[in-house]
């Protein structure tokens, strides 16, 4: 999708920062066989997992579809509100779906012998949950667990990969482009036990990654200062964005977030009207009216650079003056 450069797109939850690297793609010999071994070693070191414990897949949607399709179960419990794509995939695969409202009743009973989907940090609010007690409960109910850690890199929290040794039915998704800030190359890691990954590899297409993407992905992790810089700037801009929303007095609640976006509940204006007003100022945010367990007052705003946040301030001031 091509975005008008005049438009400030605060819908995309992709890091506006990106690592520094210098690649001359014209010097890459396309006749060479891509060095997957080197890339796998780099990823293994960066995410502290074994080379045999992950599969690199194009796109997070593709990773989820590939996994959910080959699982034995056709029942699923989703802790929501959550990414709507989970349900889209599950419906296509004829799953029976149960939703649990984690805002109000997170300890609700789950379906035994089923797939459990939990995002951590959560979406669309960015909360981080200590999953130790949940993992024990899910494991005792003989469930298959899918933890979406697409936004974990924005935090200093530990990954659920620490449970892999004791839980055979655990799968973890890590998004690369969400943190490393690239729209053009969209890859995710599907992480699980060595046996599970081996089974996935057997039914998957081989050599899905081009030599260009192999070189590009290997370069992403070389900027060792990038993670520290990103977290510092995100923390600073998150505070700025929260202050903007609070001081506007248009919002009933701002949800604390550990990710690169903020969930907010409006007071006296609907999400649809508010997003429409912002669009008139060339600013795009997410209207969550159709999301599970929310309603017509919820919006999500991704954290961008200071200049874009300042433009948001101007737009909100203008909207307030016309209410």
The pLDDT tens digits of the residues spanning 159-180 come to: 999 999 989 899 999 999 899 8
Question: In this structure, is residue 102 part of a structural domain?
Answer: yes
At 172, which CATH number? 3.40.640.10
Domain end call among 177, 203, 220: 220
Report how many domains make up the chain: 2
Instruction: Tell me, yes or no, whether 186 and 258 share the same domain.
Output: no
Task: For Cα atoms 94, 95, 97, give the angle at the middle one, nearest 5 degrees.
Answer: 135
What is the average pLDDT score of the chain? 90
Instruction: Tell me, yes or no, whether 216 and 246 share the same domain.
Output: no
Question: In this structure, is residue 2 part of a structural domain?
Answer: no
Is 41's pLDDT higher than 60? yes
Helix (H) or strand (E) holding 145: strand 144-148
Least trusted range by pLDDT, from 7-11, 133-137, 227-231, 264-268: 133-137
The tokens for 207 are 């050599």
Question: In this structure, is residue 207 part of a structural domain?
Answer: yes
Task: For Cα atoms 309, 314, 317, give the angle at the middle one, nearest 5 degrees.
Answer: 120
Paired strand residues for 79: 100
Task: For Cα atoms 17, 225, 158, give the angle at the middle one, nearest 5 degrees.
Answer: 90
Range(s) of the domain holding residue 128: 25-220
- Rounded mean pLDDT of 20-34? 66
The tokens for 20 are 């520094």
Instruction: Tell me, yes or no, whether 156 and 96 share the same domain.
Output: yes
Instruction: Tell me, yes or no, whether 98 and 63 share the same domain.
Output: yes
Is 206's pLDDT higher than 70? no
Per residue, the 3-state secondary structure of 199-237, as one string, reads HHHHCCCCCCCCHHHHHHHHHHCCCCCHHHHHHHHHHHH
Q: Which pLDDT band holds residue 306 (cuts at 50, 70, 90)? A: very high
Residue 147: per-residue pLDDT: 97
Instruction: Tell me, yes or no, whether 142 and 50 share the same domain.
Output: yes
Taking the C-alpha atoms of residue 144 and residue 155, their distance in angstroms, rounded to an integer, is 25
The tokens for 6 are 């005049």
Instruction: Tell me, yes or no, whether 75 and 192 share the same domain.
Output: yes
- Rounded mean pLDDT of 189-206? 88
Instruction: Tell me, yes or no, whether 308 and 253 share the same domain.
Output: yes
Taking the C-alpha atoms of residue 312 and residue 253, their distance in angstroms, rounded to an integer, is 18
Is 209's pLDDT higher than 90? no
Instruction: Tell me, yes or no, whether 293 and 311 share the same domain.
Output: yes
Instruction: Tell me, yes or no, whether 189 and 43 share the same domain.
Output: yes
Instruction: Tell me, yes or no, whether 94 and 205 share the same domain.
Output: yes
Domain end call among 199, 220, 241: 220
Least trusted range by pLDDT, from 95-99, 253-257, 317-321: 317-321
Q: How far is CA 101 from CA 118, 156, 232, 293, in A?
A: 11, 26, 32, 7
Residue 1: per-residue pLDDT: 46
* Number of neighbouring beta carbons within 10 Å of residue 156: 10
- Rounded mean pLDDT of 38-57? 93
Residue 198: per-residue pLDDT: 93
Question: In this structure, is residue 1 part of a structural domain?
Answer: no
Question: In this structure, is residue 34 part of a structural domain?
Answer: yes
- Rounded mean pLDDT of 27-56? 84
The tokens for 99 are 């939703």
């Amino acid at each position: 999708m091509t975005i008008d450069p005049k438009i400030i797109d605060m819908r995309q939850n992709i890091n506006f920062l990106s690592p520094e690297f210098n690649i001359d793609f014209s010097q890459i010999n396309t006749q060479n066989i891509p060095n997957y071994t080197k890339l796998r070693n780099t990823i293994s070191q960066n995410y502290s997992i074994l080379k045999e414990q992950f599969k690199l897949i194009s796109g997070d949607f593709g990773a989820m579809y590939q996994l959910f399709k080959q699982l034995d179960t056709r029942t699923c419990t989703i802790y929501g509100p959550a990414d709507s794509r989970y349900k889209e995939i599950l419906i296509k695969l004829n799953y029976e779906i149960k939703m649990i409202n984690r805002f109000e009743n997170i300890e609700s009973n789950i379906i035994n012998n089923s797939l459990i989907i939990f995002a951590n940090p959560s979406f669309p609010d960015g909360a981080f949950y200590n999953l130790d007690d949940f993992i024990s409960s899910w494991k005792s109910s003989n469930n298959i667990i899918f933890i979406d850690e697409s936004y974990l890199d924005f935090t200093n929290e530990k990954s659920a990969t620490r449970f892999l040794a004791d839980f055979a039915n655990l799968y973890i998704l890590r998004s690369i482009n969400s943190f490393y800030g690239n729209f053009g190359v969209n890859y995710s890691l599907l992480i699980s036990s060595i046996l599970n990954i081996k089974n996935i590899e057997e039914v998957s297409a081989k050599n899905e990654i081009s030599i260009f993407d192999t070189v590009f992905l290997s370069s992403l992790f070389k900027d060792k200062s990038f993670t520290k810089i990103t977290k510092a700037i995100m923390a600073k801009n998150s505070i700025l964005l929260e202050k903007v929303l609070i001081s506007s007095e248009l919002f009933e609640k701002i949800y604390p977030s550990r990710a690169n976006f903020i969930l907010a509940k409006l007071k006296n204006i609907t999400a649809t009207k508010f997003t429409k007003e912002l669009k008139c100022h060339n600013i795009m945010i997410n209207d969550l009216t159709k999301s599970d367990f929310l309603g017509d007052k919820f919006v999500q705003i991704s954290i961008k650079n200071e200049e874009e946040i300042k433009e948001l301030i101007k737009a909100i001031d203008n909207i307030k003056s016309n209410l």
